Structure 1
Amino acid sequence: MTGERPIGEDDLQAFVDGRLPSSRRDAVTAYLAEHPGTAEQVERESAHREALRTRLAFKAQEPIPSRLRVANIMAVRRRSSPWRPAAFAAVLAWLAIGGVLGAWGGFWWASRTQRQAEAVSVADNAIAAHRIYVSERLHPVEVPADQEAHLVQWLSRRVGKPLTAPNLNAQGYHLIGGRLLPDSGEAAAQFMYESVGGNRLTLYARSGGDEAETSFRFEERDGVSACSWIDKGLSYVVTAKVSRAELLPIAEVIYKQLEATSEPAKGHL
């Protein structure tokens, strides 16, 4: 997750399609080397694409038969209203090939679009929760940081996966506590941090469904920045009223800490 901007879905799609600019290809290749889950997914999609292309290559390389050219078809129609069965069958065969390619591409694109829509929905809920609770002064959290062990265990049990409250002291934020939230019928966890200057940052986590891992997705809404990703079946969103340049390094620190503590965390549940 290095470089001028994080690797996104558009980069991965262009990589699979073979149309990624050379200036970006090295960054994507390095990213995939560091994220084996995403690399496996990209490899599978590339293999499916090439397999389908290879399977139908013989047909795509054939010249269009003269009887199927528009001028000849129109001439046949003028001479005889019903098409000859052979010509009609040939046209259907070409349409079927186009349909297979289009359907497969449509399915691949639709599944990717659905994953993106789900990620946007989680980010929307995380941003909304951030706006509501960071302004609270008396009750910003349900469980305070002095009960961190209980907080993490409780939220892990409710979300259904092991959670960790990252240590952001080096980034200038200390944990003040957390709370349980609803998200589209699922349980979500919110950890809240505060800087010495009083600026608050939240880490939102909920079950991420079938998706194992995604790249960072950044968005900004009315001065509030959010960076979201999925890792090991959990959707994460880190949100704060800071710039993109300030938020992304914090998100990377959180990501690395979660990666480092994911295996030990399993032993507590």
Structure 2
Amino acid sequence: MNDDDLERERAGAPADAHSGLAGHDLAALGAFVDGELAPDEQSALLARLGEDPAAAQRIAAYRAQKAALQSLCNHAGNARENDGEHDADALGATPYVVLRRRDPWWRRAGLAAAWAIVGAGLATAATAFVPAWMARGDGHAGALFASEGERFARRADVAYAVYSPEVRHPVEVGAADEAHLVAWLSRRLGKPLQIPSLGEYGYALVGGRLLPGAAGPAAQFMYQNDAGERLTLYVSVSGRDRDAVHLLRDGGHRTFYWSTDSMGYALSGPATEGRLRTIAYDVCGALGGTSAQW
């Protein structure tokens, strides 16, 4: 007896009204398929099948259903054995199948629509929290969508924005220990570093610090003029031998960035510094760059 027959029987209707078979007939047919009838009952039922097309059709349907269920159980059992999860004591000698009623199509459609609305709402809410510089689609696209060079420039730009306003601790090692500063950061980056002089532009070295880079350490050198304006030179090992100089504008500050001899450099300063391009040009040359990079 399948799940449709069971539902009809629970509802008090004949188990198979369209075929005229009563509940006790269906039970006998099920017992026949399972080999549970006594010999005399089995002989009587076999004689009846020749004269009762509905009963014969039901027998065929039960046998097809039983064969399908056995095939499914055998397949599941083999899969568990292949995964090393078969437990004969836990499963028992006879496989079993749990029959579930399917929800009506309108209920499934309603649930799908509800989840679609929830997903759209979450996406809208998440968009509200995305920073503007990440959401922009212009030439200043956010770090998640930028080139490797621009991501490098943004790290330098953030480091400038964080440490240039610092009053008491703008650097880790001061300019008085410049030799130690250069040796320490060179050892950490695995490359010999040098600190360009910006004295002709009125900027003196304040000192430097170690920072995290994209895939390793980075260094930041800070300069300051008599007016209190600061510039920073951000340095890290680069996977590119030589790149052209580019400019990143972000708010009230600007960053010129490039790579030379597998080292990345970024000079950041306030937008009010009209000479920043000239200073960056000289710094690039002092660090091994060429005019062809501009």
Find 2:267's aligned residue among 234, 238, 242. Answer: 238
* 1:179-238 CA distance string (max 9 Å, x none): 0000123100000000110000000000011x1111110111001010000000000000
Deviation at residue 244 of structure 1 after TM alignment: 7.4
Find 2:232's aligned residue among 177, 202, 208. Answer: 202
Find 2:209's aligned residue among 175, 179, 202. Answer: 179
Structure 2 residues not aligned, in runs of 5+: 1-145, 290-294
Letter in 2 for 1:217: H
1:184-263 matches, cutoff 5 A = 184-209=214-239, 211-243=240-272, 245-259=274-288
Find 2:194's aligned residue among 157, 164, 173. Answer: 164
How far, CA to CA, are the matches of 1:215 and 1:150 in structure 2?
31
How far, CA to CA, are the matches of 1:246 and 1:124 in structure 2?
21
C-alpha RMSD of matched pairs (Å): 2.0
How far, CA to CA, are the matches of 1:140 and 1:249 in structure 2?
25
How far, CA to CA, are the matches of 2:190 and 2:271 in structure 1?
31
How far, CA to CA, are the matches of 1:225 and 1:258 in structure 2?
20
Task: Answer yes or no: is the 8 Å Cα contact 1:143–1:178 preserved in 2.
Answer: yes
Compared CA separation, residues 124 and 159, structure 1 to 2 (3 A)? same
Identity over aligned pairs, percent: 40
How far, CA to CA, are the matches of 2:258 and 2:274 in structure 1?
17
Count of residue pairs the alignment pairs up: 146
Task: Answer yes or no: is the 8 Å Cα contact 2:196–2:287 preserved in 1.
Answer: yes
1:1-269 matches, cutoff 5 A = 117-209=147-239, 211-243=240-272, 245-259=274-288
Deviation at residue 124 of structure 1 after TM alignment: 0.6
How far, CA to CA, are the matches of 2:265 and 2:226 in structure 1?
24
Q: Comparing both structures, which one devotes a greater share of its residues to helix?
A: 1
Letter in 1 for 2:271: V
Other structure's SS at 1:218 match: strand
Task: Answer yes or no: is the 8 Å Cα contact 1:141–1:192 preserved in 2.
Answer: yes
Deviation at residue 243 of structure 1 after TM alignment: 4.8
Structure 1 residues not aligned, in runs of 5+: 1-115, 261-269
Looking at CA atoms only, which structure, 1 or 2, has the larger radius of gyration?
Answer: 2
Compared CA separation, residues 215 and 243, structure 1 to 2 (3 A)? farther
- Which aligned runs of 4 or more in structure 1 are off by greater than 6 angstroms? none
Deviation at residue 245 of structure 1 after TM alignment: 4.4
Task: Answer yes or no: is the 8 Å Cα contact 1:225–1:243 preserved in 2.
Answer: no
How far, CA to CA, are the matches of 1:149 and 1:258 in structure 2?
17
Deviation at residue 257 of structure 1 after TM alignment: 1.5
Task: Answer yes or no: is the 8 Å Cα contact 1:224–1:239 preserved in 2.
Answer: yes
Compared CA separation, residues 117 and 244, structure 1 to 2 (3 A)? farther
Letter in 2 for 1:221: D
